[in-house]
């Protein structure tokens, strides 16, 4: 695994898909057009300058690199895709994507939302060694299945 795969950020490919889907939240990191990550966040502690990055502040060919959890939160808010990691009987992890109404649905709901409750009828078919790997796989699945 590369350093990026072990870090808290989404992959370069996921960052490109997030940008295409409209992601433009502030981040502390970005990828250049070749997929090389540059880190900006550590400078935030040196002085009071606002050093956050977003897709508007970058060159068109570069992309903001959110953390996995920023991506998960954004996908839930914008697309109603809630990604959860679940332990498996084999002591591994898998993920489940629960779909609820979102900003993209252009609907107003009053009262409670109907959400699938455990035990889940289906989850991802793959097992992952860590919870983090399962969440990354869930983010990638959602990004590749957006409307």
Q: What is the mean pLDDT of residues 95-100?
A: 85
12 and 29 share one domain: yes
75 and 132 share one domain: yes
Structural tokens at position 103: 């900003």
Write out pLDDT tens, residues 28-41.
888 888 888 776 54
Cα–Cα distance measured from residue 82 to residue 113, given in angstroms and rounded to the nearest whole number: 13
- Please state, as a whole number, how many other Cβ atoms lie within 10 Å of the Cβ of residue 106: 7
78 and 61 share one domain: no
Last residue within a domain, chosen from 19, 35, 66: 66
15 and 34 share one domain: yes
77 and 140 share one domain: yes
Q: In the structure, what pLDDT confidence band is assigned to residue 50 with cuts at 50, 70 and 90?
A: low
Q: In the structure, what pLDDT confidence band is assigned to residue 119 with cuts at 50, 70 and 90?
A: low
115 and 130 share one domain: yes
Query: Has this prediction a pTM greater than 0.85?
Result: no
Q: What is the mean pLDDT of residues 117-139?
A: 82
Least confident of 32-46, 62-76, 123-137: 32-46
61 and 76 share one domain: no
77 and 123 share one domain: yes
Q: Which residues pair with 35 in a beta bridge?
A: none
Structural domain including 55 reads: 1-66
146 and 86 share one domain: yes
Domain count across the chain: 2
Q: In the structure, what pLDDT confidence band is assigned to residue 117 with cuts at 50, 70 and 90?
A: low
53 pLDDT more than 50? yes
43 and 61 share one domain: yes
The DSSP string of 21-72 is HT----BSEEE-TTS-EEE-GGGGGTSS----B-GGGS-TT-EE--BHHHHH
Q: In the structure, what pLDDT confidence band is assigned to residue 4 with cuts at 50, 70 and 90?
A: very low
């Amino acid at each position: 695994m590369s350093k990026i795969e072990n870090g808290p950020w989404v992959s370069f490919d996921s960052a490109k898909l997030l940008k295409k889907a409209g992601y433009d939240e502030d981040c502390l990191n970005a990828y250049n057009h070749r997929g090389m990550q540059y880190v900006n966040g550590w400078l935030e502690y040196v002085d009071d300058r606002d050093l956050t990055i977003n897709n508007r502040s970058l060159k068109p060919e570069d992309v903001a690199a959110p953390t996995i959890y920023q991506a998960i939160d954004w996908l839930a808010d914008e697309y109603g895709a809630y990604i959860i990691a679940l332990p498996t009987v084999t002591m591994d992890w898998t993920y489940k994507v629960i779909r609820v109404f979102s900003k993209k649905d252009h609907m107003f709901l009053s009262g409670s939302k109907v959400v699938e409750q455990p035990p889940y009828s289906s989850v991802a078919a793959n097992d992952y060694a860590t919870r983090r790997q399962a969440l990354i796989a869930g983010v990638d699945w959602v990004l590749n299945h957006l409307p």
